[in-house]
Structure 1
């Protein structure tokens, strides 16, 4: 006598699988992921394009794109390989973006969490400090910090992070104010959980999704700010960056437009990739907010 197998429901997919399924429904987000992967690939393979120094002279100055296959994208007015500098510029953009984002989000989380959780005079003091930073235009403050700290790439990333923390702080504060009176917080408080554990173990995991989404915005903003500094000749001249390429290429814009146009296109596509990724992450992490 055979026994019929019991009908078991299929196992539920894990959370990462569910998030990926939501993410891939957004075709624009997939395009952003492709562009981001392309930029990361450029950064990782820069050493294969130019194993020595991307700032060295590689050919005749102002060689047009595709005129010489040793320098496929041409050379600038100093004879440097535009393709090599483009790949190394991806490293600088990602480095500045990641470091500045970590600094910005880190400061924003601490300030916003303390302000939103404790409220009262703590909230008043921290929000007045935040408002004081917001009264100064971000780029003006960035120029001041770079003038004080110097134009090394490390200081530039630090300065960008310092001028970008106010918006994440306000966002985290709003999330904490919405979550601090929820039932699971009251239950943890009744069990004697400390304030530190309450902030970082109970409330923070529930406030993470919008922070992750906003991090993509900060990444894009950081790349634009670094490029703007380099365009104004305030970047680090010891590194090949897209902003430096545009700033130097404007001197020959009428005769060799590609010197500025090629890195400009790279910046546009990179910033676009983070914007599309942020939209896709928002759809995946907050499906109810999708219009």
Structure 2
């Protein structure tokens, strides 16, 4: 309850929550507001926003309703962000927990693997995975999760290193708890808050990575995503700039909302702020 009060005392955190709820509302209402296939032809191509009452945000190069693609694109962005974040955080927690708990050779080997993944830029490694395994939506989500786990792993490891010699862990060893119970039952719950906060960063980056892939036409072309719409508008950017600008604005607001929510959670869960 105290953490919740601290969260809502922060105006940026509240703004972020409102933006995120707005995106969720768009995703939830897409099927109701736009019952037709968002990728179906709807009218004359490249109609400007507000030029036709039927298409408040205009139409794209193929005559598809941009508003429908924006609302359905919210579903895709949230799905990619959530699934990729769950995969990245799950891998990172397992790697970081084992490295931090056992230390020694286990820590050395796991951290060398982590550093190997960090040697290549995330986007470059993502391109390789998509080229090799394909660009379907499930593949893209898994690939983004795979390239995003090193940072959560390092954060989890740092938390485990600071917690593994605490009194409650020593007490668990004394009463004969197994390593797995100590790792996942005793230490991990105390190490999770900063990892949960950092998950918002992973989610924001995941949305940007998918948009970048779609801009290069390497994401799934069979879904109405904001990145695909931006990529489509690249061909008419000098004249009908709105085709790329509208989904770009949606991405900016979503990433901003996720980032502000993450910062608000950090302020709310930070033990140093409990006395305020």
TM-score range normalised by the length of the shorter chain: over 0.9
Indicate yes or no: 2:270 matched with 1:286.
yes
Aligned length: 275
Indicate yes or no: 2:136 matched with 1:124.
no
Can you give the 5+ residue segments of structure 2 that lack an aligned partner in the other structure? Answer: none
Alignment partner, residue 141 of structure 1: 125
Indicate yes or no: 2:215 matched with 1:251.
no
From 268, 271, 274, the equivalent of 2:258 is: 274
Alignment partner, residue 174 of structure 1: 158
From 116, 136, 144, the equivalent of 1:160 is: 144
Give TM-score scaled by structure 2 length.
0.98
Query: Which of structures 1 and 2 has the bigger CA Rg?
Result: 1
CA distance in 2, matches of 1:91, 1:84: 11
Query: Residues 62-118 of structure 1: CA distance to partner in whole angstroms, max 9, x if unpaired?
Result: 111111111111101111000000001101100110110000000000000000000
CA distance in 2, matches of 1:287, 1:50: 45
Can you give the 5+ residue segments of structure 1 that lack an aligned partner in the other structure? Answer: 1-16
Alignment partner, residue 59 of structure 2: 75
Query: Residues 167-202 of structure 1: CA distance to partner in whole angstroms, max 9, x if unpaired?
Result: 000000000000000011111110101100000110
Give TM-score scaled by structure 1 length.
0.93
CA distance in 2, matches of 1:76, 1:128: 47
SS at match of 1:45: helix
Distance apart, 1:52 and its partner CA: 2.3
Indicate yes or no: 2:7 matched with 1:19.
no
From 263, 266, 271, the equivalent of 2:247 is: 263
